Amino acid sequence: SAVISQKPSRDICQRGTSLTIQCQVDSQVTMMFWYRQQPGQSLTLIATANQGSEATYESGFVIDKFPISRPNLTFSTLTVSNMSPEDSSIYLCSVLWTAGGPAEQYFGPGTRLTVT
Amino acid sequence: AQKITQTQPGMFVQEKEAVTLDCTYDTSDQSYGLFWYKQPSSGEMIFLIYQGSYDEQNATEGRYSLNFQKARKSANLVISASQLGDSAMYFCAMRGMDSSYKLIFGSGTRLLVRP
């Protein structure tokens, strides 16, 4: 399986500022995803990070608010822009792992964001 | 549209006993995958088990097994010999076999193992 790390693990930010979250994988992967988990809720896909092209965003999420970069096959960043308290969530990076069997999906440890 | 339903917001189980966490799904896809994840209080999502819609046998991984009933559209997780460390949130998820590979998650079940 893939080993995924995220930075920062947690942060407390002020309203109106931006935070960039990094996701690093120990192996090359084709597909990387960013999910959001609001307090007490389930996970919702924000976007799929595509290497060499624009990210694909889900309904309700826009590039201006959540710009994503994917410069290579092992790294991606998610920026949460112009933050408000409603952005307080756990943000999780996920990768698609195909190693001869069915494609499995693994998650990073998450970034716990609190906006004050 | 795909949908995952977990009807048990919370469950208790005695240590060393088995427990079943319910999951039903709705999809018009013929081919799909079903996943279970564990989320401890630390927030990480730990992959537990996977079942493909065309797999004839129920998936098993150590103490975890998936009771897959395709006609009923259910994919219940069975944890045998519960341990205190099993206390966590458990999420059922589904993925269609289109090229998006995105996961749709249920609302989760919080499991508490009693000593």
Average pLDDT over residues B67-86: 96
CA distance B15 to B4: 28
What are B25-63's pLDDT values in tens digits?
999 888 899 999 999 999 999 999 999 999 889 999 999
Average pLDDT across chain B, whole number: 94
Is there a contact between A71 and A55 (Cβ–Cβ < 8 Å)?
no
**Residue B99 pLDDT exceeds 80:** no
Task: Tell me which chain A residues have a C-beta less than 8 angstroms from the C-beta of B100.
Answer: 48, 56
What are A31-83's pLDDT values in tens digits?
999 999 999 999 999 999 988 888 999 999 999 999 999 999 999 999 999 99
Average pLDDT over residues B81-98: 93
Distance from CA of A33 to the nearest CA of B (A): 8
Count of alpha carbons within 13 angstroms of residue B63, beta-carbon side: 12
Position B101 scores a pLDDT of 86
CA distance B32 to B106: 15
Task: Tell me which chain B residues have a C-beta less than 8 angstroms from the C-beta of A103.
Answer: 33, 101
**Residue A100 pLDDT exceeds 80:** no
Is there a contact between A27 and A74 (Cβ–Cβ < 8 Å)?
yes
Is there a contact between A23 and A4 (Cβ–Cβ < 8 Å)?
yes
Decide if B103 and A109 are in contact by the 8 Å CB cutoff. Answer: no
- For the record, the structure tokens of B9 come out as 């917001």
Decide if B47 and A108 are in contact by the 8 Å CB cutoff. Answer: no
Query: For the residues of A15-66, what is the DSSP string, one character each?
Result: TT--EEEEEEESS--SEEEEEEE-TT--EEEEEEEETTSPPEEPTT--TTTS
Query: For the residues of A50-106, what is the DSSP string, one character each?
Result: ETTSPPEEPTT--TTTS-EEEEETTEEEEEE-S--GGG-EEEEEEEEE-SSSS-EEE
- For the record, the structure tokens of B88 come out as 């966590």
Decide if B45 and A33 are in contact by the 8 Å CB cutoff. Answer: no
Decide if B103 and A43 are in contact by the 8 Å CB cutoff. Answer: yes
Backbone angles phi, psi at A73, to 5 degrees: -85, 0
- For the record, the structure tokens of B37 come out as 């994840």
